Structure 1
Amino acid sequence: MQRALPIWPALKQKPTLQIDRNTPVLIKARMTLRAFCVETQTTGPLYAERRVFIGALHMRLATLILCLAACAAPIVARAETVPQSQAEVQLSFAPVVRKSAPAVVNIYAQRVVAQRSSPFADDPFFGDLFRNFGQVTPRVQNALGSGVILSDDGIVVSNFHVVGNATEIRVVLNDRREYDADIILTDEESDLAVLKLRDASDLPKLEVADSDAIEVGELVLAIGNPFGVGQTVSSGIISGLARSGIAVGSGRGYFIQTDAPINPGNSGGALVDMQGRLVGVNTAIITRTGGSHGIGFAIPANLVAQVVQQARDGQERFQRPWAGVTAQAVDASLADAFDQRVPEGVILLEIHPDSPLAEAGMVRGDVVLSVDGAPVNSAPEMMFRLSVRGLGAQSELRYRRGDSVETAQIDLMLAPDTPDRQARRVDARTALRGLSVVRINPAVIAEYNLTPDAQGILITGLEDISARTGLRVGDVLLAINGTAVETTEDVIALAQEQTRNWQIEILREGRRVALRFRL
């Protein structure tokens, strides 16, 4: 039989213990949140040492009273500090917010966009034909977002979609100080931009954490300016890592996923850990209503650090190491074909003969398993690992070829800009006036995200009359009016033709397309 007897509140009364002489009693003291209890438990026949047992009980009670007296001693107040672990976060995120929030800013940007008045510009079938016709009307477009200060002299990182092509940028700090800002580096592919505040000094800044060290389930805070209501903090956890295939910017990147509420206006804001350090830059959400559904994505801090470093070095565009390959994730069906126990890695489908992987001895069909010890399971993840390593460094690739697993050391470098790209612009007063073209080489492939085997003449600009033809930047010219195009000089010569009927053959997104128009 077991029962609990409450001990007197605040030690004002002694407990009364009734012990049957015929039954020994085991007495234990235990602490609960509300009171102390004495538990009695029968253990069998009574022994002669009953008096000694009761004496021991008295000593235990005396010890208990001394402990209670010690607990009643005054507690010395301790200053609030930023918690060093999740276990220390008990009731409030306030210390973390006080440390990190001053370095998160509101960004207001203006850009002038040209808008055509054609009523058919958005038609799904005839949009390409009518989009470039109609009167051009300049229009001021306002953008609202957030940013993160990373240096006390005013280096701020934000999203490209917030400040890209802006003609005026105003940055407002949490303490209401305002600064004009200039764009010093952009990277549309990762959707990052770096700003420099004018005449700024002694600013609060965020420490950048190692985003590879975070784990799913860790607590994080999202800080930004949703809907322009002012600086707002929301909390959540890391929901997932290595998220890829999400269309952001001009590419499909590699992201940290969080369930911390993120809304329009949070873009470019901070995702911070419980030490108040930057682990990511909030950039996108998946939504059906325009608001948060608990699925948000942030650009990892390790990539942010590389982008900011290149901005400090004077680069105006982020320069990535060149891999020179096309790769695909190994799924279950491919794993079966390769006799892999589990699907892992990325298979090389195409490889440029001058790429660093080819120079290291890798070939088509090799399956890359890891980069610098970090597993890779998608092409964006592999490129992310190379990008955060930085130009001029070396990376170790572990890969499977057949039944063996091998390693390769590759040098991280820019794509060679050879042979010469031979950039040309059409100035003749014909339908192709304003057309800019280059010859495709490895640097062009990397710059325009083409396949490694791409070749020919690439359209890089459309102005004046050529903007009305339905051609697009990124199209590969194959033929003009039935004559094959092999060099940029061919384009210049064929564009001189005085005719009103034009037929241009191009390669667009892997498909051969024929455009016919009359001008």
Structure 2
Amino acid sequence: MFRASLLLFLFAWSSVAIAETRIPQTQGEISMGFAPVVKQAAPAVVNIYAKIVRPGRNSPIFADPFFQNFFGGREAPRPRVQNSLGSGVILSDDGYVVSNFHVVGSATEIRVVTTDRREFQAQVVLGDEESDIAILRLQDAQGLPYLQLRDSDHVEVGELTLAIGNPFGVGQTVSSGIISGLARTGTATGNTRGYFIQTDAPINPGNSGGALIDVNGDLIGINTSILTRSGGSNGIGFAIPANLVAEFLRQAKSGNDKFVSPWAGMAGQSMSADIAESLGLSLPQGVVISDLHPLSPLAAAGLRVGDIVTHVDGKEVNSPAEMKFRMSIVGVGGKSVLTRLRGEESADVSVSMVAAPEKPAAEETTLDNRTVLPGMTVARINPALITRMGLLLSQTGVAVIEPGPYGARAGLRPGDVIIAINGRRIERPRDVERGLRDPGRRVQMDLQRGGKPVSLRFRL
């Protein structure tokens, strides 16, 4: 009797936070616990089996024809085949499925198995490694059960939740808990790019890509990672919010094969207590703009370095990752209202959501055998390349996209910015071609790597 009363209290308490949540109506419903919700939602959660072919490890020495002949044409190591296991969630009756990029992003073959043991071949139609989201399309699928996406902005800490997936490959499993936190950034993936819902519902390896649902059976988020030292669940799990999943699904259905996120063209930092005190603010809230690209849509809307962005579309933001999330769910082509604080003046500013522009033209070029570093790919730096390569906003000139076998041996890395070759200033990809076509017996390349100067010297 006490257990039933406690369960009724928890459901009723949850309904205070979400007015539309349905509470059990009869003693029979109370005694069944979450069974009706699981029965409704579980068929839309699938198991994913992905095959990934990794190239065999090889020394760069075997890329050199001289050493290939020296070692008698020794064959390169054979590729390695890895099998990845994860989960996914069906989002439409015609076979759109969401999972994690780290489960299927590099897969050469993907097999999806539903709870009624039907099997489908699938392919990734849109994926993004940074967001760790992939949208799959099942072949010859129709009439499938699917989950409704809930507005994750209305999720509150303390709500009851269920995690459904295939942990450790034991089969579909359901675990329960609550929403432990919102707007988590950095803790789940080891960087500051992610934006997650936190739950204490047990999540384990194999749960990746599975569903985090509410007591109505609606999708709150996609389980993606855990915080652990042992490899097992410690009750700290993270899910990608459903609102971002919705934007991925929209772009996939519109034909995009790459996720296009609005470009802010800014660098910023979270407000600390020290910064707030120095600015005379009572609370450390918002994101301080520390740099703006000349083509930034924020700059075009009148924002400037030193401004503090406190809200995006009425939602508090306290980190650059939160700003990126808020802009991403609006999508390119829309508009967001940013609340900025400048001194004691607060104002709402409308900002257009645009993709990172290809200005100036990238002029991407792969060097040929007439140069001393054939196979190296370089491009002129523009906002699109800055976003793609994670370069500093202030960087201009020419960046290394792919060093190639000879460039890698010389010490070049993707993202290196070439400043000069043998003392000659580099401004365009054609300057790199000219500088490496007949450089003489020695080559000196002056670079910027992560904003720091680097000099490479090698003899031909």
Q: TM-score, length-normalised on structure 1?
A: 0.78
Q: Aligned with 1:418: secondary structure? A: coil
After superposing the two structures, state which structure 1 stretch, 455-464 or 296-305, moved more: 455-464
Q: Which residue of 1 aligns with 2:70?
A: none
Write the deviation string for residues 279-311 of structure 1: whole angstroms up to 9, x where unpaired: 101111111011111111110000000011000
Q: Is the Cα–Cα contact under 8 Å of residues 372 and 437 in structure 2 kept in the other structure?
A: no
Distance in 2, matches of 1:238 and 1:395, equals: 27
Q: Which residue of 2 aligns with 1:110?
A: 51
After superposing the two structures, state which structure 1 stretch, 398-407 or 453-462, moved more: 453-462
Q: Which residue of 1 aligns with 2:227?
A: 286
Q: Which residue of 1 aligns with 2:179?
A: 238
Q: Aligned with 1:381: secondary structure? A: helix
Distance 1:237 1:342, change over 3 A: same
Q: Aligned with 2:329: secondary structure? A: helix
5 Å matches for 1:433-452?
Answer: 433-452=374-393
Q: Is the Cα–Cα contact under 8 Å of residues 188 and 225 in structure 2 kept in the other structure?
A: no
Identity of aligned residues (%): 54
Q: May I ask how many residue pairs the two structures share in their alignment?
A: 425
Write the deviation string for residues 318-376 of structure 1: whole angstroms up to 9, x where unpaired: 10111110011101000001111111000000011221111111110000010000010
Q: Which residue of 2 aligns with 1:348?
A: 289
Distance in 2, matches of 1:279 and 1:184, equals: 22
> What's the CA shift for 1:153?
0.6
Q: Which residue of 1 aligns with 2:81?
A: 140
Ranges in structure 1 where 5+ consecutive residues have no aligned partner:
1-31, 34-82, 120-133
Distance in 2, matches of 1:220 and 1:481, equals: 62
Q: Which residue of 1 aligns with 2:453?
A: 512
Write the deviation string for residues 435-494 of structure 1: whole angstroms up to 9, x where unpaired: 111111122222333332221211112334334333222221222344332111111112
Distance in 2, matches of 1:351 and 1:281, equals: 33
Q: Which residue of 1 aligns with 2:21?
A: 84
Distance in 1, matches of 2:410 and 2:113, equals: 43
Q: 2:258 aligns with which of 308, 311, 317?
A: 317
**Which amino acid letter does the alignment assign opposite residue 402 of structure 1?**
G
> What's the CA shift for 1:412?
0.8
Q: Aligned with 1:223: secondary structure? A: strand
**Which amino acid letter does the alignment assign opposite residue 140 of structure 2?**
D
Q: Which residue of 2 aligns with 1:69?
A: none
Q: Is the Cα–Cα contact under 8 Å of residues 102 and 204 in structure 1 kept in the other structure?
A: yes
Distance 1:518 1:294, change over 3 A: farther
1:151 aligns with 2:92: yes
Q: Which residue of 1 aligns with 2:425?
A: 484
> What's the CA shift for 1:165?
1.9
1:255 aligns with 2:196: yes
Q: Is the Cα–Cα contact under 8 Å of residues 278 and 301 in structure 1 kept in the other structure?
A: yes
1:410 aligns with 2:347: no
Distance in 1, matches of 2:439 and 2:375, equals: 16
Ranges in structure 2 where 5+ consecutive residues have no aligned partner:
3-19, 61-74
Q: 2:34 aligns with which of 84, 93, 96?
A: 93
Q: Is the Cα–Cα contact under 8 Å of residues 430 and 465 in structure 1 kept in the other structure?
A: no
Q: Aligned with 2:194: secondary structure? A: strand
1:181 aligns with 2:122: yes
Q: Is the Cα–Cα contact under 8 Å of residues 403 and 413 in structure 2 kept in the other structure?
A: yes
Q: Is the Cα–Cα contact under 8 Å of residues 117 and 137 in structure 1 kept in the other structure?
A: no
Q: Aligned with 1:350: secondary structure? A: strand
Distance in 2, matches of 1:140 and 1:392, equals: 41
> What's the CA shift for 1:208?
0.3
Alignment RMSD: 2.2
Q: TM-score, length-normalised on structure 2?
A: 0.88
**Which amino acid letter does the alignment assign opposite residue 346 of structure 2?**
V
> What's the CA shift for 1:413?
1.2
Distance 1:498 1:483, change over 3 A: closer
> What's the CA shift for 1:431?
4.4
1:456 aligns with 2:397: yes
Distance 1:250 1:287, change over 3 A: closer
Q: Which residue of 2 aligns with 1:45?
A: none
**Which amino acid letter does the alignment assign opposite residue 242 of structure 2?**
A
Distance in 2, matches of 1:249 and 1:144, equals: 22
Distance in 2, matches of 1:114 and 1:373, equals: 48
Q: Aligned with 1:109: secondary structure? A: strand
Distance 1:105 1:314, change over 3 A: same
After superposing the two structures, state which structure 1 stretch, 298-307 or 83-92, moved more: 83-92
Q: 1:213 aligns with which of 151, 154, 167?
A: 154
1:424 aligns with 2:361: no
Q: Which residue of 2 aligns with 1:192?
A: 133
**Which amino acid letter does the alignment assign opposite residue 351 of structure 1?**
L
Q: Aligned with 2:46: secondary structure? A: strand
Q: Is the Cα–Cα contact under 8 Å of residues 170 and 181 in structure 1 kept in the other structure?
A: yes
Q: 1:385 aligns with which of 312, 320, 326?
A: 326
Distance in 2, matches of 1:389 and 1:244, equals: 19
5 Å matches for 1:5-24?
Answer: none
**Which amino acid letter does the alignment assign opposite residue 351 of structure 2?**
I
**Which amino acid letter does the alignment assign opposite residue 393 of structure 2?**
P
Distance 1:407 1:273, change over 3 A: same
Distance in 2, matches of 1:90 and 1:336, equals: 52
> What's the CA shift for 1:518?
5.0
1:396 aligns with 2:333: no
After superposing the two structures, state which structure 1 stretch, 454-463 or 144-153, moved more: 454-463
5 Å matches for 1:319-338?
Answer: 319-338=260-279
Distance 1:296 1:86, change over 3 A: farther
Q: Is the Cα–Cα contact under 8 Å of residues 222 and 269 in structure 1 kept in the other structure?
A: yes
**Which amino acid letter does the alignment assign opposite residue 93 of structure 1?**
F
Q: Aligned with 1:245: secondary structure? A: coil
Q: Which residue of 1 aligns with 2:67?
A: none
Distance 1:222 1:516, change over 3 A: farther
Larger Rg: 1
Q: Is the Cα–Cα contact under 8 Å of residues 118 and 135 in structure 1 kept in the other structure?
A: no
Q: 2:169 aligns with which of 225, 228, 243?
A: 228
Distance in 2, matches of 1:268 and 1:373, equals: 30
Distance 1:367 1:250, change over 3 A: closer
Q: Is the Cα–Cα contact under 8 Å of residues 325 and 451 in structure 1 kept in the other structure?
A: no
Write the deviation string for residues 252-282 of structure 1: whole angstroms up to 9, x where unpaired: 2110011111111111111111110111011
> What's the CA shift for 1:249?
9.3
